[in-house]
């Protein structure tokens, strides 16, 4: 008989996470301790529970200003080598404790230049933190592997230097590149040279597209830039029409994304907070899953959304009645779409993910 889908059983199930921001996943307690260490005085409260609530409320508020303020605080307290190591280590440990077996965690190194560290020092500190977190997780009996994605900020210049940084560190755990930040007004085609460079280097990249902006953003990311995956990609649903009688018409762009199995890094809770979806139950992930797009489930910002991979899975189980087989499908989709090598992906699917779900479905 299948194991009931309790929160604890969902936490034990092996999970794969492709879209998680390092500066969006700090523990509230850590924010407070780091602020104290570096003399950062701008936090709204120094009570961990209240601070956690404050982050979620600010992200929920619908105000972009308040939402951006949350990242000003997390980045503000991460402006040292020790802070970067600690935050990265805790991210790996927290994800492992949540049953994540493989994660790609992203951040923009340029946001930590105010610390006086070079971009290289920032990358090395974060890598050291992930390795430390993986070792601590292993000591606690959990195996996790963390790959890194380096982001350039869309509104800033200098995407190419971040892409070069990603390529320079690709044998040390940096598995890809992304652009983050405001989507409207900063289309990916602003950085054609960056994506051209990455393709010539045989490097992997994803692009945040189709979250705050619609189909043109997705089209540019895929057809002009050559994105291997789409960060969110929620608005691809604008190219899918469902008639009152239930018949479905898939447009050219959505058809291309589906036919080519271009992964959608969907982040249900975050999408509801930013208004990209009205509620989890009305999130396009339901339709896109039914139509067998290459859907993956992700956290985006665990602190601001107060979520984890387990809670995102549990919310989808509640909203759409998914069972273990759907959760396995999301997980295998994510593993197939990861930026590590084919052999490693296959090994995780066959040796970890499938046996893990088989045990739950028995």
Task: Report the C-alpha gap between 14 and 69 in whole angstroms.
Answer: 33
Is the Cβ–Cβ distance between 186 and 154 less than 8 Å? yes
Q: What is the total count of residues that contact Zn ion (CB under 5 A)? A: 1
Give dist(CA 115, CA 34) in Å, integer.
14
Q: Are strands 248-250 and 240-242 parallel, antiparallel or unpaired?
A: antiparallel
Q: How many CB atoms lie within 10 A of CB 99?
A: 21
What whole-number distance in Å separates Cα of residue 329 and Cα of residue 301? Answer: 23
Helix or strand run (H / E) with residue 124: helix 119-139
Query: C-beta of 107: minimal distance to Zn ion in Å?
Result: 11
Burial environment of residue 358 by CB neighbours within 10 A (0 to 12, 13 to 18, 19 or more)? exposed
Measured from the CB atom, the residue of 104 and 300 that comes closer to Zn ion is 300
Tell me which of 211, 220, 265, 312 is the catalytic residue. 211
Closest distance of CB 189 from Zn ion, Å: 19
- Which residue's beta carbon is nearest to the bound Zn ion? 300
| Shortest Cβ 23–Zn ion spacing (Å) | 11
Q: Tokens 């080519």, residue?
A: 260
In 3D space, the residue among 53, 62, 23 whose CA is nearest the CA of residue 212 turns out to be 62
DSSP letters spanning 147-167 = EEEEEEETTSS-HHHHHHHHH
Binding-site string for Zn ion from residue 282 to residue 311, where x marks contact by CB under 5 A and - marks none: ------------------x-----------
Nearer to Zn ion, 142 or 208 (CB): 208
DSSP-derived secondary structure letter, 118: -
C-beta closer to Zn ion: residue 300 or 312: 300
Which pair of tokens denotes residue 270?
Answer: 């975050």
- Smallest separation, CB 200 to Zn ion (Å): 26
| Axis-axis angle for helices 192-200, 159-168 (nearest 10) | 20
**Phi-psi map region of 108: left, alpha, beta (phi>0 left; psi -120 to 50 alpha):** beta
DSSP H or E run through 50: helix 48-60
User: What is the C-alpha to C-alpha distance for residues 65 and 44, in angstroms, rounded to an integer?
Assistant: 15
Residue by residue, DSSP assigns 291-322 as: TT--EEE--B-HHHHT--HHHHHHHHHHHH--
**Residue whose CB is less far from Zn ion, 191 or 210:** 210
Backbone torsions φ then ψ of 80, nearest 5 degrees: -160, 160
Between 142 and 235, CB nearer to Zn ion: 235
How far is C-alpha 302 from the geometric centre of its chain's CA atoms?
A: 9
Helix (H) or strand (E) holding 180: strand 174-180
Active site residue 211: yes
Query: Which residues are known to be catalytic?
Result: 211
Query: What residues make contact with Zn ion under the rule CB under 5 A?
Result: 300
């Amino acid at each position: 008989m299948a194991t009931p889908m309790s929160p604890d059983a969902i936490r034990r199930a092996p999970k794969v996470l492709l879209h998680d921001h390092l500066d969006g996943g700090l523990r509230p307690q850590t924010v407070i301790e780091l602020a104290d260490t570096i003399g950062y005085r701008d936090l709204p409260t120094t009570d961990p529970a209240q601070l956690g609530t404050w982050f979620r409320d600010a992200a929920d508020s619908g105000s972009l200003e308040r939402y951006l303020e949350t990242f000003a605080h997390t980045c503000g307290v991460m402006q040292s080598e020790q802070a970067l190591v600690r935050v990265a280590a805790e991210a790996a440990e927290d994800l492992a404790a949540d049953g994540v077996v493989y994660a790609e965690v992203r951040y923009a190194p340029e946001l930590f230049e105010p610390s006086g560290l070079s971009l290289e020092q920032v990358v090395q500190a974060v890598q050291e933190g992930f390795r430390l977190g993986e070792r601590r997780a292993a000591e606690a009996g959990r195996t996790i592997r963390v790959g890194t994605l380096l982001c350039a900020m869309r509104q800033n210049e200098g995407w190419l230097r971040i892409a070069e940084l990603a390529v320079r560190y690709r044998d040390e755990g940096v598995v890809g590149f992304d652009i983050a930040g405001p989507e409207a007004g900063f289309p990916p085609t602003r950085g054609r040279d960056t994506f051209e460079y990455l393709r010539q280097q045989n490097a992997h990249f994803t692009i945040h597209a189709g979250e705050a902006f619609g189909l043109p953003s997705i089209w540019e990311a895929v057809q002009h830039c050559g994105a291997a995956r789409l960060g969110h990609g929620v608005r691809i649903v604008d190219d899918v029409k469902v008639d009152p009688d239930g018949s479905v018409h898939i447009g050219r762009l959505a058809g291309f994304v589906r036919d080519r199995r271009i992964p959608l890094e969907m982040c249900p809770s975050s999408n509801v907070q930013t208004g990209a979806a009205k509620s989890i139950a009305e999130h396009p992930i339901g339709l896109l899953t039914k139509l067998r797009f290459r859907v993956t489930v992700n956290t985006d910002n665990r602190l601001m959304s107060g979520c984890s991979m387990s809670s995102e899975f549990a919310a989808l189980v509640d909203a759409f009645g998914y069972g273990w087989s759907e959760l396995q499908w999301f997980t295998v989709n994510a593993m197939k779409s990861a930026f590590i090598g084919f052999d490693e992906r296959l090994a995780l699917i066959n040796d970890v993910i499938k046996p893990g779900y088989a045990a739950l479905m028995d």
